[in-house]
Chains A and B, each alone.
Chain A
Amino acid sequence: MKVDALVIATGEGSLPLATGTIDVLGYSPGLVSSPFEALPTFLHANPEHPYRIAGIDGVEHALAWLAETAESLGYQGGLVRNRWVPTVLGGLRPTSMLPRSMVSADLHANAHAEIVVAGIRGYRDFHPALLAANLSLATPPSGGRTIRARATEVEWPGNSSDLVPFRLARRLEEAAVRREIANRIRPSLGGATAVAMPALLGRERWDEVHRDLEGRLERDVFEVPGLPPSLPGLRLSDCLRRALRRAGGRLLLGSSAVSATRVDGEVRSVTVTQAARHTEVKAGFVILATGGFAAGGIARDRDGTLREPLLGLPVHGPQVGAEPTSPRFLGSQPLDRAGVRTDPTGRPLDTAGEPWARNLYAAGAVLAGAVPWREKSGEGVALATAWAVTGAILGGAQ
């Protein structure tokens, strides 16, 4: 079915800051080795969690959709088992899907006899010695022996002005630069079977960069995402933008939705900003995907009132007088769970518990009940709820 879709985006969204891996469920609260097995119990214990809108089937479908839509990025994995990938500090974190440039970063039992962590001297956001030292202390939760990792740092063959992520990524798309980098890494390889590198291996031509380095080093090469900007996240963002455009959808980047018109229980139009005035966009269906507290999709007034600023939807979360945060930085933060409550199909509820509008849906971090950074569920919630509500819209529109 052909749908006329418009995405109104105040800025690029958070993908350029994200790892490019797809987290579904990493902790519940203990470490999860199989999201597929853990999800029923998790949902039972967290009946308000946004995953309930999609169900486990919906999560699976959403991941399959991503693998197909972002086929050029070569995503692998799924719900059956979590992958264990190194962080830029050398910890291991669980995630469900990896793009091809990170597939060999999955450090399940004895995946690699030894890893060389190769950094670039002078690049400030990737410290191979730190990464390798911490990684050497880790044992994959799936069993096996301690990971063996060692660090090397090579001189950059270009100018020091190249040593920022977007320029390094562009320069690495040049064959001559790669040849030189590979020549400088090669003497340190020894018996290593894999090379970990900062996630800077090209933007558009990442596949060529990655394959070429693997060929030259005769080892598995994988990217380790670190501080933003994140090239794997940018590639995914580029890829999804292209997919939207090719499907006939439109993106209004830099504009903001400021209000909506609701008549007889239906949203009729959304008012958006333009250069000199506001304009109304008529819509048959509207999906609210404005993000959580950090993105501004949920706001908190000085008196402690939580608001959903665009439509004024009631927000479920710590109420006035309740402590919104915990003094323990990594502790449970009540504000994290704040968001919009919905009916089982993803339609936000009004104060009486009825859908605010028949044709309004919500997806992603604006929904109440998830703590993505603790659960490691951010991409999963975004994908699964988007999948579920678009399915509800397409089904309802037929």
Chain B
Amino acid sequence: MSARVDPMGSSDHLESGAALVRSSLDACIKCTICESACPFAVATPLFPGPKTVGPQAERFRSGLSSADWSVDYCSGCGICSRVCPQGVRIAEINAQARARLKERTGIPLRDQLLARPDVMGRLGQPVAPLFNRAVETPAVRTIMERTLGIHRSAAIPRVSPRTFQSWSRRHPPAPGPDRVVYFHGCSVNHFEPRLGRMVVAVLEHQGLRVDVPEQGCCGLPLQSNGNFPAARRYLTRLAHRLAAAADVSVIASSTSCGLMLKREGREILGVDDPALADVSRRTWDIFEFLRDLHERGLLRTDLQPVDLCVAYHAPCQQQNHLMGKPAIDILSLVPGLRIIELERDCCGVAGTYGLKREKHDISMSVGEDLFHDIRGLEPDAVLCDSETCRWQIAKATGYPVVHPVEILHRAYSGGGRPPRARG
């Protein structure tokens, strides 16, 4: 058998996905390509760079001991793994090293909290108006920063008084013979149920029956905060719930949570569960799915003109699907829509990274080039597939930032008003 590690970790490596990620470090030739591509290393000396912290330091880590703390300043954006010509899984090695570090040091309450958006959503929901007013009150934010360490300027989403699940339970399913499962994630459920309704409408417009099983968190924020045992439990539970409808495509509108199902759960967390392997193969990002329909001549193209100029930012985790930019491919079909592709890699927020007191300034500095470009373009709206990135960009620029499916929904439902700014 060849000893070469498939740099992309195809689904053949299920059993030992996580171990293979680590062994890829031997392919590092220290060429520094990752260091010059890393948006965080250039922004802070606290992160010495992906090669230094990843394959280089990994050789000095044994058991739970780590050479230093710097791996905690890796955001997990994954750009290093994408640019590596040798197939070293640098970001994945770092994620595993961070979890081992946290096993030794413990995880602060703040990170435990930020890592559970479903819990935050459930606690906030009954008192949504109060919660939403509180997180927008500077005095409350100052207290939150001092006591919890959540930066006072970080974007925190508004909690919806009604969950997406409660809407979907009452939503009569479309009669179509072909079914899909919609994996909405915590964000749509608790913070952006409107987006979920648009996803369902767009899919039903294609004649599909959309099933929304009970789901829960995929464990991604737990993974990026170094709590692997809890992340594995969440992910396994989710995989079993989504796998119940056999052979049906699973559609995700949160691009980072979709990636957790597709790859990260197996390769970073090392979850070796047949249900996850099964769901992995049939998980699609919403626009990846629509593009596939279009390529097979099955996408409905009764699209009304949408007279807007939008700037599209492909977030890091979207790029880690290695599927190109299907949102652009599909939205190019919308008459009247002008799409400008933004040319920056990262907005800096990296999930919960940019919310943390000690990391917020780094995060804003990473995103500054992107924010600058957006301000220069003065678009009607910014499009982005990842929720935390949308919140960060909206907060930093003041521009309305929406999921690209909103534009498609508008085109299917007859044009309409431009998107409003958040908050």
Contacts and interface: CB of A to CB of B under 8 A. Distances in A.
A166 B41 contact: yes
B18 to A, nearest CB: 15
B362 interface: no
Contact of A17 (B8, B31, B41, B343): B31
A278 B11 CA distance: 9
A165 interface: yes
A205 to B, nearest CB: 11
Given A11-B86, A254-B8, A276-B11, 13 more contacts: A12-B37, A12-B83, A16-B32, A162-B45, A166-B36, A166-B49, A228-B31, A229-B33, A242-B343, A254-B319, A275-B259, A275-B323, A276-B261
A381 to B, nearest CB: 19
Interface string A327-342: 0000000000000000
Interface string B29-59: 0011101111001100100110000000000
A14 B7 CA distance: 17
A10 B85 contact: yes
Contacts of B38: 166
27 contacts: A10-B85, A11-B85, A12-B33, A12-B85, A17-B33, A159-B45, A164-B35, A164-B49, A166-B35, A166-B38, A166-B42, A167-B45, A228-B31, A229-B32, A229-B35, A250-B324, A250-B325, A254-B319, A256-B6, A256-B7, A256-B8, A274-B321, A275-B320, A275-B321, A276-B11, A276-B262, A295-B85
Contacts of A351: none
B45 A273 contact: no
Interface string A260-280: 000000000000111111110
Contacts of B280: 276
Contacts of B36: 16, 165-166, 229, 234
Nearest 7 Cβ contacts at the A-B interface: A11-B85, A254-B82, A161-B45, A273-B8, A276-B262, A229-B36, A12-B83
A159 B87 CA distance: 33
A162 B42 CA distance: 9
Contacts of B254: none
A254 B85 contact: no
Contacts of A278: 10
Interface in A151-172: 159, 161-162, 164-167, 170
Interface string B1-40: 0000011101100000000000000000001110111100
Interface of B is mostly: loop
A363 B390 CA distance: 40
Interface of B: 6-8, 10-11, 31-33, 35-38, 41-42, 45, 48-49, 81-87, 259, 261-263, 280-281, 283, 319-325, 341, 343
A13 interface: yes
Interface in A293-333: 295
A252 B322 contact: yes
Contact of B85 (A13, A164, A234): A13
Contacts of B322: 252, 254-255, 272-275
Interface in A212-251: 228-229, 234, 242, 245, 250
Contacts of A10: 7, 85, 87
Nearest to A309: B4
Contacts of B83: 11-12, 253-254
B322 to A, nearest CB: 4
Contacts of A162: 45
A170 B42 contact: yes
A166 to B, nearest CB: 5
B41 A273 contact: no
Contacts of B35: 164, 166, 229
Nearest to A279: B323
A38 B65 CA distance: 60
A277 B249 CA distance: 13
A189 B8 CA distance: 52
Nearest to A170: B42
A308 to B, nearest CB: 15
Nearest to B328: A250
B154 to A, nearest CB: 24
A16 B33 CA distance: 6
A14 B85 contact: yes
Contacts of B11: 276-277
A256 B6 CA distance: 9
B84 A11 contact: yes
B198 to A, nearest CB: 24
Interface string A1-42: 000001000111110110000000000000000000000000
B114 to A, nearest CB: 25
A252 B321 CA distance: 10
Contacts of A275: 8, 259, 262-263, 320-323
B79 to A, nearest CB: 9
A167 to B, nearest CB: 6
Nearest to A253: B82
A364 B13 CA distance: 32
A275 B288 CA distance: 12
A218 to B, nearest CB: 31
A15 to B, nearest CB: 9
Contacts of B45: 159, 161-162, 167
Q: Which of A11, A229, A274 gathers most chain B CB within 10 Å? A: A11
B341 A245 contact: yes
A210 B87 CA distance: 35
Given A12-B37, A253-B319, A254-B319, A276 B281 contact: yes
Contacts of B37: 12, 16
Contacts of A12: 33, 37, 83-85
